[in-house]
């Protein structure tokens, strides 16, 4: 290759990169020469949105509200590019405009390592962060990131809209119409809310079920439809029969439910415990300690594969009230990250170590706090007979039973605990099934004993004189 050739190639590569950057800036980027401040759009704004296209009216509505301006093309027409995905930074801008462009107080420093004041839509991203619409990720090195250029996935879109709407209570009737969104999946609650509001209907499948495609990027035309329905009212969900894959949820208001919970794993006894639970066909909930997950990721994956729920029990098992809110948040998010890396859904429930929490915990957890009303004290007496006796003495319909999978004596008690509770008419459920409408920031001791997030001065109101349940686990 000659030197002029190489220069030529370099020029073409640079030009291609420039085109990509301009295309990505897309909606309303004031900085992008491809889209200067336009005159107010009118009906029929976009040359690539025909009047009879699927979401034409919704796209026109979005343009009319000034939420999107599209791109000015060389021929003088405007385009909306309805099938392109949306980057996360652009989504922040859309929501900010939908909210009426409230003023933004910029922070002294960006909370995200990958977002700086020169990042397109920096004020809008700061606004979305301050409003709690986006939390970003905690990376393995401890920094937080927003991933501004990533396409926003449909499940994250559900979470953005749910938080934008103030995290309303989610009331669902029956199973979700989507076969690909199950209880325990990441953002299950947010997607359920979106479906009950008629904001999303998903797609029909060949079997008569519907699917939401939670991990797919959302296209710009579907985003327009979502925002239109969010503001102007939803559409009716077409019929959906998802058949076997979605199990009928247990109604614990009618059934004698009990949730067995196992803390502080995964550990040396996890596989044996999973064998026992599989043999008995009993679902349980595991509150795992983040720092123990990477070396036993296969056990965590097996928990999920066999129908159990995996909850967050912090990364290093500290006493949360002794930590700042930010340190508490880091403990929780780091644990979420390793659990997801192990192949499990992002946890939807958090159990503070030692059952100790404060107002900051409720705020930063962004999940329900799951305590217990049956304390087997298995860590203390290490006696299978006592574990059984305490469980039988204290369990009521709707109870949450605390045990620790770190003790061989607890595993030993499990078959008898299951037999005895079954003989008394109990059905075993996960926390997700026991508390299908659990709310972030609320504290649950059983199905009916709750300290709601809206209450003030309830810190430790119901925790009484709880003893630390374990020591700090080893590395």
Interface with Ni ion (CB under 5 A): 263-264, 353, 469-470
Closest by Cα among 142, 179, 324, 460 to 188: 179
For residue 472, the minimal CB distance to Ni ion (Å) is 9
Q: Is the peptide bond before 266 cis (omega within 30 degrees of 0)?
A: yes
Cβ proximity to Ni ion, 183 vs 266, nearer residue: 266
For residue 352, the minimal CB distance to Ni ion (Å) is 9
75 is catalytic: no
Under a CB-based contact definition with an 8 Å cutoff, are residues 217 and 152 in contact?
A: yes
Helices vs strands, H then E, count in the chain: 15, 15
Cα(340)–Cα(413) distance, integer angstroms: 30
Cβ proximity to Ni ion, 399 vs 469, nearer residue: 469
Under a CB-based contact definition with an 8 Å cutoff, are residues 227 and 234 in contact?
A: no
For residue 263, the minimal CB distance to Ni ion (Å) is 4
Beta-bridge partner residues of 137: 145
For residue 354, the minimal CB distance to Ni ion (Å) is 7
Cα(336)–Cα(346) distance, integer angstroms: 6
Q: Nearest residue to Ni ion, using CB?
A: 263
For residue 311, the minimal CB distance to Ni ion (Å) is 11
∠ at Cα 439 (435, 442), nearest 5°?
Answer: 100
Cβ proximity to Ni ion, 88 vs 404, nearer residue: 404
Cβ proximity to Ni ion, 53 vs 316, nearer residue: 316
CB atoms under 10 Å from CB of 380, counted, come to: 15
N-term to C-term CA, the chain: 56
Cβ proximity to Ni ion, 69 vs 285, nearer residue: 285
- DSSP annotation of 108 reads S
Cα(201)–Cα(116) distance, integer angstroms: 37
Among candidate residues 188, 317, 404, 407, the one labeled active-site is 404
Cα(50)–Cα(33) distance, integer angstroms: 26
Among candidate residues 263, 264, 336, 378, the one labeled active-site is 263
For residue 404, the minimal CB distance to Ni ion (Å) is 7
Cβ proximity to Ni ion, 276 vs 466, nearer residue: 466
Closest by Cα among 366, 445, 431 to 167: 366
404 is catalytic: yes
Radius of gyration of the chain (CA): 25
Residues serving a catalytic function are 263, 404
């Amino acid at each position: 290759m000659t030197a002029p050739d190489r220069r030529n190639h370099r020029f073409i590569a640079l030009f291609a990169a420039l085109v990509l950057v301009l295309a990505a800036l897309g909606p309303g980027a004031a900085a992008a020469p491809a889209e200067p401040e336009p005159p107010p759009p009118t009906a029929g704004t976009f040359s690539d949105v025909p009047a009879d296209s699927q979401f034409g009216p919704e796209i026109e509505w979005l343009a009319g509200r000034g939420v999107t301006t599209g791109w000015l093309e060389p021929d003088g027409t405007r385009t909306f590019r309805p099938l392109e995905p949306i980057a996360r930074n652009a989504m922040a801008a859309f929501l900010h405009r939908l909210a009426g462009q409230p003023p933004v107080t910029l922070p002294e420093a960006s909370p995200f390592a990958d977002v700086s004041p020169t990042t397109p839509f920096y004020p809008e991203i700061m606004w979305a962060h301050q409003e709690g619409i986006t939390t970003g990720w905690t990376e393995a090195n401890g920094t937080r990131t927003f991933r501004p250029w990533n396409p926003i996935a449909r499940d994250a879109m559900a979470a953005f809209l749910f938080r934008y709407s103030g995290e309303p209570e989610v009331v669902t009737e029956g199973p979700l119409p989507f076969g690909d969104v199950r209880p325990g999946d990441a953002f299950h609650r947010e997607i359920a809310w979106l479906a009950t509001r008629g904001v999303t209907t998903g797609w029909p499948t060949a079997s008569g079920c519907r699917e939401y495609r939670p991990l797919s990027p959302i296209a710009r035309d579907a985003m327009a439809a979502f925002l239109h329905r969010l503001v102007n009212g939803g559409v009716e969900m077409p019929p959906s029969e998802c058949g076997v894959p979605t199990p009928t949820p247990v109604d614990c208001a009618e059934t004698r439910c009990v949730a067995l919970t196992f803390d502080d794993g995964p550990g040396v006894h996890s596989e044996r415990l999973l064998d026992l639970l599989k043999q008995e066909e009993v679902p349980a909930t595991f509150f795992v300690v983040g720092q123990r997950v990477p070396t036993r990721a296969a056990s965590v994956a097996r928990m999920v594969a066999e129908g159990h729920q995996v909850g967050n029990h912090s990364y290093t098992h500290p006493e949360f009230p002794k930590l700042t809110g930010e340190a508490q948040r880091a403990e929780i998010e780091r644990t979420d990250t390793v659990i997801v890396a192990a192949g499990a859904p992002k946890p939807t429930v958090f159990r503070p170590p030692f059952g100790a929490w404060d107002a900051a915990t409720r705020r930063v957890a962004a999940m329900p706090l799951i305590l217990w009303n049956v304390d087997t004290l298995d860590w203390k007496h290490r006696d299978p007979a006592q574990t059984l006796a305490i469980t039988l003495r204290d369990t009521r319909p709707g109870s949450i039973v605390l045990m620790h999978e770190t003790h061989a004596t607890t595993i030993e008690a499990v078959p008898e605990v299951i037999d005895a509770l079954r003989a008394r008419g109990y059905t075993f459920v996960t926390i997700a099934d026991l508390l299908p409408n659990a709310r972030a920031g609320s504290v649950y001791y059983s199905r009916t004993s709750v300290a709601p997030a809206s209450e003030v001065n309830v810190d430790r109101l119901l925790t009484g004189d709880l003893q630390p349940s374990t020591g700090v686990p080893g590395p």
